Amino acid sequence: MSRTPDASAADPTSAQTVLLDSLQELGFSQYEARCYVGLLNKEPQTGYSVAKATGVPQPKVYEALRKLVSRGAAFELAGSPTKFLPSPPAVLLDALESGVNNRLRSARRAVAELSEDGPPPVEILTSLTEWSAIVGSAVRLIDDATKRVYVSASASQLADVGPALEFALDRGVDVVALCFGPMPFEDERVKLFRHLSTEGVIYRSHQARHLAVIADSASALWALARTTGSWSAIETTNELVIAALKGFIRHDIDMQQVFDDFGPALVNRYGPGLEALERYRQTEPPPGSAPSKRRAARVAN
């Protein structure tokens, strides 16, 4: 039988390096991997010759060789001195592959059992701070919608997602829009509601720019900028967050429909922008604005 030159462990070929690394990743110790590679393509070898060829310390080489035998990676030949042969690489690798696949199947079954009784998965809220990224996220949600899109936005922000909304309308998607300020584009297919109760009124709580998008009640984006260039936004598929945001938009739309019908009476009762409705959020009511007994009783209840 022809012999190939011994490969020094200190100067392995690229193929040897790959095999050494792969065997160690599959559970072989460094010495076991080096001994197996040292046995390949050679006549039966003694532990001494394997140690000499691979650089494995002689006190460790027989331990490593017998571990190879126990795992089916080598054969021990009877005789004196004892010699060793490697298992054919194809046989060894097939056995290793089968073992890995069996372990993966066992792990998957265990995970399936644990997942049934385990805590719900953690949902990550994607955070965005750049307006261009926020628009990109909103457009993607709108483009993915197949049934209905709710959108609430200041006029300038609504303009940036207008083309996506019109394309959604072309696909037959129902678009419900609440606009703060003049509508930036005209399309009679949009179910449009103007935020009339705050128009012409200037106070801080209504000056924040915002964009809210809900697509098919399955995904949502909520973005807010209280000052110029200070956008903060989240994108989520969390059902609770989406339900809260959709409820907020729907309530706002309902209020604007009421204002459209009874605006003068409401302004007369609560002032421009219905600002008096916010009195309950003040720590101390301003002078002369104490609630009536009837309203105090209503708040107390």
pLDDT by residue, tens only, the chain of 301 residues = 333 444 444 456 788 899 999 999 999 999 999 999 999 988 999 999 999 999 999 889 999 999 999 999 999 998 889 999 999 999 999 999 999 999 999 999 888 887 766 556 667 678 899 999 999 999 999 999 999 999 999 888 999 999 999 999 999 999 999 988 888 888 889 998 887 766 655 444 445 688 999 999 999 999 998 776 689 999 999 999 999 999 999 998 888 888 888 877 887 887 777 777 777 766 665 555 555 544 444 444 4
DSSP-derived letter for residue 130 is -
Domain 14-87 identical in fold to domain 126-275: no
Contact 151, 216 (CB under 8 A): no
Which residues are bridge partners to 77 per DSSP? 83
pLDDT value, residue 199: 63
Question: What pLDDT, on a 0 to 100 scale, did the predictor assign at position 87?
Answer: 94
In our burial notation (b when 16+ CB lie closer than 10 A, e otherwise), range 253-291 reads bebbeebeeeeeebbeeeeebbeeeeeeeeeeeeeeeee
d(CA 146, CA 174): 8
- Structure confidence at residue 106 (pLDDT): 93
* Confidence at residue 296, expressed as pLDDT on a 0 to 100 scale: 45
Q: Residue 9: its pLDDT value, please?
A: 44
Asked if 128 and 134 count as a contact pair (C-beta separation under 8 A), the reply is yes
Strand pairing report for 83-86 and 45-46: antiparallel
Rg (CA), the chain: 36
Check whether domain 14-87 has CATH 1.10.3720.10, yes or no? no
- Residue 11 is predicted with a pLDDT of 54
- Tell the CATH topology of 126-275: Endonuclease; Chain A (3.30.870)
Question: 229: which 2 tokens?
Answer: 């260039």
Q: Where exactly are the structural domains of the chain?
A: 14-87, 126-275
- Please give the pLDDT value at position 125: 75
